[in-house]
Amino acid sequence: MSFSIPFAHGLGGVRDPVIPVWLFYYAASLTLILSFVALGVLWRRPLLEGRGGGRPLSPRWQRLLLWVGWRIILGALSAGLLVVIWLAALVGEPDAGDNLAPTFVWVVFWLGLVPLVVVFGNLWSVLSPWRAAADAVAWAWNKAGRTWEPAAAYPERLGRWPAAALLLAFATLELAYPRAAEPRTLGLAIVVYSWITWAGMLLYGRRTWIEHGEAFHVYFGLLSLIAPFSVQERDDRRLVVVRPPLAGLTARQEVPGTVAFVAVMLGSVAFDGLSRASWWQNRLYDLEARYIVDSPRTADLVATGFNLLGLMAAVTAVALMFLVAVRAAQAVSGSREGLANVFVASLIPIALAYAVAHYFTLLFNQGQFAIPLASDPFGRGWDLFGTSDFTPSLFNSPDAIWYTQVAVLVAGHVLGLALAHDRAVAIWGSARTAARTQYAMLALMVLYTCTGLWLLSAN
């Protein structure tokens, strides 16, 4: 059975909402302004600050959730699945609709893990196949009586910059390269990323590279700060704690490169919406048309370069606007301390909102195609699990999608405002001073919201 893969992010269609689109811009902006006023009046002391530590679960839950067998079982399954996906990409049917690899990588993994880590915490720490393989090698090495030390000390100044660069490379493959859905492309990408990850672990140590250079661990780790559950180390013990949602975002992000990483998170999704606007597509077509007949490879390179410029511009714009807002808060407060590491976490709920608004239909609709493809991952006509005849039930109500997108975007920015306000009150101890320092942040949130609505409505 052949499946068509609609990898157009943010399925929509021809909308005919009762309310004019332009009115949504005013309503969203007014909602943010009223929320800002309400925060200044009602939120007069920090409610999230200091609560990120949470409360440990009962000993029974600790034993169940931290059982070492979970890491072994889930790690083995994850590593085996990585091999299957890589083989499917390498030797399976080259048509993306008949091959499990594209749907699994771009939908099940990249989009499907997001709601899980936002609800349950950073599950990627036990699901990462690269970490599982490295742990298995380290265990076997120790059992053989060998000792091993990292070849080099990780430069502190690098921080999360390697992870930001790898996330940007992943976004470039997804959003800039025209053949990102082709299985052979994904097969090569898996090899390259695996080599970089294991080389980084070998050079700097497993934990060090995972926390600074493994893009997916940093990505899912930052999103998991929203979650009410977390695994923390206390007195040389690992504990599962429950805490108020968003409380994990109150911790300062002192690691260099965090602003760049979050800018890639947010800017890449913004560019995805931009790249699907008709005027961008028209300019891209004009560039490709000059080469598409005589040299398709050249056309691909031109398209990739043009899209990469747009992606870099979007990421840079997100970072610059945030840094300007932070600098304004610093000037108003008279603080000499850099505040980017204090407020950067307020962008994470917005990054989540952008991702949900753009991709929830893709996850729901295309995610269902993983069910039949799981029975025939290589496209050879198999029916391993008896699901090859499953027929997806697609959700395609353009007006309902649009209303959901608007609600999600506004909610994400309101949460970002609330988080920034809580941080400001905790720092300056006064709701009045906090409000004064957050005027620029309010303007930033309004700008982000209107830009997000424009990008969604332009598709």
Query: What does the pLDDT look like over 37-96, one tens digit per residue?
Result: 999 888 888 888 878 788 999 999 999 999 989 999 999 999 999 999 999 999 999 999
Using alpha carbons only, what angle is made at residue 255 by residues 253 and 261, rounded to the nearest 5 degrees? 80
Residue 4 banded pLDDT, cuts 50, 70, 90: very low
What is the predicted pLDDT for the residue at 11? 44
The pLDDT tens digits of the residues spanning 190-218 come to: 999 999 999 999 999 999 999 999 999 99
pLDDT mean across residues, the chain: 89
Once rounded to an integer, what is the mean pLDDT over residues 170-197?
A: 95
Whether the CB-CB separation of 247 and 54 falls below 8 Å is answered with yes
pLDDT attached to residue 9: 53
Ordered strands of the 237-242 beta sheet: 55-56, 237-242, 229-234
Query: Contact, 166 vs 265, CB < 8 A?
Result: no
Neighbours of 173 (CB within 10 A): 20
pLDDT above 70 as % of the chain: 95
Q: What is the pLDDT of residue 35?
A: 92
Q: What is the pLDDT of residue 18?
A: 60
Angle at Cα 351 formed by Cα 8 and Cα 241, nearest 5°? 125
pLDDT of residue 402: 85
pLDDT at residue 1, rounded to an integer = 44
Q: What's the mean pLDDT in 99-121?
A: 95
And the tokens for 444? 């930033």
- The structure's pTM equals 0.93
